[in-house]
Amino acid sequence: MSMKPTKKIRIPSHRHCPVCGNSMPIDAEFCSDECRDKYLQKVKRDRRMRLFFFLFYAILMAVLFFFFVWRPS
């Protein structure tokens, strides 16, 4: 019967890839070029979605504004 001591491996300071969650060096932004591409695509898509939403909101506000200002008497 052997006692297995639970070894506590001290993990050197590291970060996790924001795309896939793999650990990576602290000075790296992504673990691989593939993840960087994925991240950039996501950012681009998010930005486009935000712009689209903002435009939609602005148009809606403009429509509402003109609806109330130019009320037919």
User: Interface with Zn ion by CB under 5 A: which residues?
Assistant: 17, 19-20, 22, 31, 35
- Residue whose structure tokens are 């435009």: 55
Could you give the CA distance from residue 54 to residue 44 in angstroms, rounded to a whole number?
A: 15
Minimum distance from residue 39 beta carbon to Zn ion (Å): 8
Q: How far is the CB of 43 from Zn ion (least distance, A)?
A: 15
Q: In this complex, which beta carbon is closest to Zn ion, that of residue 16 or of residue 50?
A: 16
Q: How far apart are CA 39 and CA 41, in angstroms?
A: 5
Nearer to Zn ion, 21 or 66 (CB): 21
CA distance 46 to 48: 5
35 vs 46 by CB, closer to Zn ion: 35
